[in-house]
């Protein structure tokens, strides 16, 4: 994975296992080139068959001017959505709630048109809800999930729920809140118990602050 701007990392395709291992010096030059192009810092891991190469370039901490390290942790951005969707579908499979339940059933009053939006529409981005990331104040600061929902619902819906597709981070903030309401536990706890722990993802965590 290659870290970049706040939008999250970009995938690096490793050579097929049948090919010779990539040249470490060439890989390092590629990382240095990403930094020279303007990215603050980059880390990468390349697997070729049974061989693994890790590298880094640039800064891992801008404030402290600390160089990036191959073992640095970084935010995986929207990959989190697949984790949240997995937990939601597990709960549906356990009959804890239904995909076609209206949002208002679990989060009454939080979204003005919550009676007309289903959990399914949150997960497949057909809710029509405005994406809060398009209206975040500057400079960036921490927000609670319900504050982010308030930013989104301060805008008119983009369309009637179910009529179109529009990628919106607001959908998965709400899906996380539904999971918390259904289970009575923090989303971070559910992700740990259902995904991170069972899969032994020792270097993965959900930031809870």
Q: pLDDT tens-digit profile of 82-115?
A: 999 999 999 999 999 999 999 999 999 999 999 9
Establish whether 166 is a catalytic residue: no
Residue 205 lies in a domain: no
Phi and psi, residue 198, nearest 5°: -60, -30
pLDDT at 7 over 70: no
Between CA 16 and CA 121 the distance in angstroms is 37
Q: Greatest CA separation found in the chain?
A: 58
Same domain, 92 and 170: yes
Q: DSSP characters for 28-44?
A: HHHHHHHHHTT-SEEEE
Question: 57 and 13: one domain?
Answer: yes
**pLDDT greater than 90 at residue 141:** no
Please indicate, yes or no, whether residues 90 and 189 belong to a single structural domain of this protein.
yes
Residues 60, 111, single domain; the answer is: no
Mean pLDDT of 112-119: 97
User: 46 and 105: one domain?
Assistant: no
Q: Check residue 110 and give its pLDDT.
A: 98
**CATH number, residue 110:** 3.40.710.10
Reply yes or no on whether the pLDDT at 2 is more than 50.
Answer: no
Residue 87 lies in a domain: yes
pLDDT value, residue 195: 97
88 is a domain residue = yes
Domain of 7, in residue numbers: 1-76
The pLDDT score that the predictor gives to residue 173 is 98
- For the cut 70, the answer to whether the pLDDT of residue 5 exceeds it is no
Give me the catalytic one of 11, 57, 78, 166. 78
In a domain, 206, yes or no: no
pLDDT at 12 over 60: no
The domain tally of the chain equals 2
Segment 70-82 shows an average pLDDT of 90
Q: In the predicted model, is pLDDT for residue 1 greater than 90? A: no
Indicate the residue among 57, 76, 95 that finishes a domain. Answer: 76
Strands 66-67 and 41-48: unpaired
Judge if pTM exceeds 0.85.
no
Is 187 within a domain?
yes
């Amino acid at each position: 994975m290659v870290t970049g701007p706040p939008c999250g990392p970009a995938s690096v395709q490793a050579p097929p296992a049948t090919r010779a291992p990539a040249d470490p010096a060439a890989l390092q030059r590629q990382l240095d080139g990403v930094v020279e192009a303007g990215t603050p810092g980059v880390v990468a891991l390349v697997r070729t068959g049974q061989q693994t190469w890790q590298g880094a370039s640039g800064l891992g901490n801008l404030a402290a001017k600390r160089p990036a390290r191959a073992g640095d942790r970084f935010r995986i951005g929207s990959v989190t959505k697949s984790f949240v969707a997995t937990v939601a579908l597990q709960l549906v499979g356990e009959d804890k709630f239904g995909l076609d339940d209206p949002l208002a059933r679990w989060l009454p009053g939080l979204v003005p048109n919550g009676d007309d939006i289903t959990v399914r529409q949150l997960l497949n981005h057909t809710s029509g809800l405005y994406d809060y990331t398009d209206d975040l104040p500057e400079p960036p600061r921490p927000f609670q999930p319900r504050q982010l929902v308030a930013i989104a619902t301060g805008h008119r819906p983009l369309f009637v729920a179910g009529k179109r597709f529009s990628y919106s981070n607001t959908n998965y903030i709400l899906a996380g809140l539904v999971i918390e309401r259904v289970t009575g536990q923090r989303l971070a706890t559910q992700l740990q118990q259902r995904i991170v722990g069972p899969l032994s993802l020792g270097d993965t965590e959900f930031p809870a602050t």
